[in-house]
Structure 1
């Protein structure tokens, strides 16, 4: 029988293990140091696949401040010295330029024209502006129904614990290997808060309690709205989920601003750092407008417009 061993870690030094069948050859190890970290260091939990036969013994032996796995282990507990840039000040931005608006509008029209078949009956569509409307739509030539394109909602949690924030390093594209808050698409049938709690459990194996909304960030160019909640860990335990390479608690000065996955994460974390320094966490609304001609990987190529605080 093939088995996998998971070690779960936390800042309090708790370590537990779970042994269960695994259909993949080898052991799946998630390892975390049992040593309590200083306030200035980052706590990380990462995973490693080992190619050990199912019959090979796996021993966990305590050593100073950590655990050792014979047959392989991985541990990341490091100060992020010199690896991140300082967060820049978030100032008020003017409304988006006309070129940005036109670029966004043309992209939306292109997406509409790519809708060639009706999502209800499968009939061919034509493209035009229906009576009483102002925008181009895909209209079914068989049943007459109109296909509307609506923004997708992304929900997530900004977890603060011992003056640190919890980030996950992505194991999937886009932005493989880069850092993000635990977040993802809202599912039908769940509230925004429920979705944020679910995504945090899926990506960081962390049970959290929502404490307040923190930010709503609209990204018209890609048709997404982010709702980020403040949250706290119910238990000081976390480990990488299937979509994460590792999870870390970062002190604010060590947040890897140059290695974040998305502009939305960059904006959210900069706003949070500013609020902490100001001594008051407030709610933010803003529109992230990517600069025309820049790619999705250029997370710094944006303006934060219509920034409102309450």
Structure 2
């Protein structure tokens, strides 16, 4: 960050009074610019023994498979965001969302909140964000072509929990790989 979004003057990285983290502070108006993690919301859309997966048609990781998920927008709840992202990426609607997995990815400043959900109808289709949208059984999941570690981890937990039909809420983290 180089300039203040309030007055346009230069900012400098410093620890403000009564704080303990470096922040960008305007050299003119004194505005403190907080930078916080981004929240990503999404879900595991389920239809019988299938999961709805999306092959990405956008970067990053274009061409690889994922669950519908994306950044939470201001003014929406996490459930609303997960439903919106599912619709944007699959053209389909979900219901019965239940919190399933929270993953801290500190090194990229993201927090993922994923829900289990029920697909309302088999009306999915490719979208601007997804080149292909497909219901998959566990044996059909393209494990070598999953776009993100957090999605792979989510699917592993889901298939571990599914035989018992007990999807307890989990908290996990992903650290930078060396």
Taking structure 2 as the reference length, what is the TM-score of the superposition?
0.96
Q: Indicate the residue corresponding to 1:175 in structure 2.
A: 61
Q: Distance in 1 between matches of 2:152 and 2:138?
A: 13
SS in 2 for 1:290: coil
One of 131, 145, 169 as aligned partner of 2:17: 131
SS in 1 for 2:174: strand
Give how far 1:283 is off: 1.0
Q: Indicate the residue corresponding to 1:204 in structure 2.
A: 90
Residue deviations 1:221-261 (CA, integer Å, cap 9, x gap): 11111111111111221111111100111111221111011
RMSD: 1.1
Q: Indicate the residue corresponding to 2:50 in structure 1.
A: 164
Q: Distance in 2 between matches of 1:288 and 1:215?
A: 12
Q: Structure 1 residue 243 and structure 2 residue 129: aligned?
A: yes
| Aligned structure 1 segments of 4 or more residues deviating by more than 4 angstroms | none
Q: Indicate the residue corresponding to 1:95 in structure 2.
A: none
Q: Structure 1 residue 116 and structure 2 residue 2: aligned?
A: yes
One of 278, 285, 291 as aligned partner of 2:177: 291
Q: Distance in 2 between matches of 1:174 and 1:256?
A: 18
Residue deviations 1:90-141 (CA, integer Å, cap 9, x gap): xxxxxxxxxxxxxxxxxxxxxxxxx111121111011211122221111100
Q: Distance in 2 between matches of 1:245 and 1:205?
A: 12
Q: Distance in 2 between matches of 1:232 and 1:178?
A: 23
Distance change (3 Å), C-alpha of 1:211 and 1:129:
closer
CA contact (8 A) 2:68 2:86 kept: yes
Q: Indicate the residue corresponding to 2:28 in structure 1.
A: 142
Q: Distance in 2 between matches of 1:194 and 1:127?
A: 35
* Matched length: 178
One of 159, 163, 173 as aligned partner of 1:277: 163
What does 1:11-90 align with in structure 2 at a 5 Å threshold? none
Taking structure 1 as the reference length, what is the TM-score of the superposition?
0.56
CA contact (8 A) 2:79 2:97 kept: no
SS in 2 for 1:122: coil
* Alignment gaps of 5+ in structure 2: none
Q: Distance in 2 between matches of 1:121 and 1:211?
A: 42
Q: Distance in 2 between matches of 1:142 and 1:131?
A: 16
Q: Distance in 2 between matches of 1:286 and 1:133?
A: 28
Give how far 1:210 is off: 3.1
CA contact (8 A) 1:220 1:289 kept: yes
Q: Distance in 2 between matches of 1:135 and 1:286?
A: 24
* Alignment gaps of 5+ in structure 1: 1-114, 293-310
Q: Distance in 2 between matches of 1:163 and 1:128?
A: 53
Residue deviations 1:9-42 (CA, integer Å, cap 9, x gap): xxxxxxxxxxxxxxxxxxxxxxxxxxxxxxxxxx
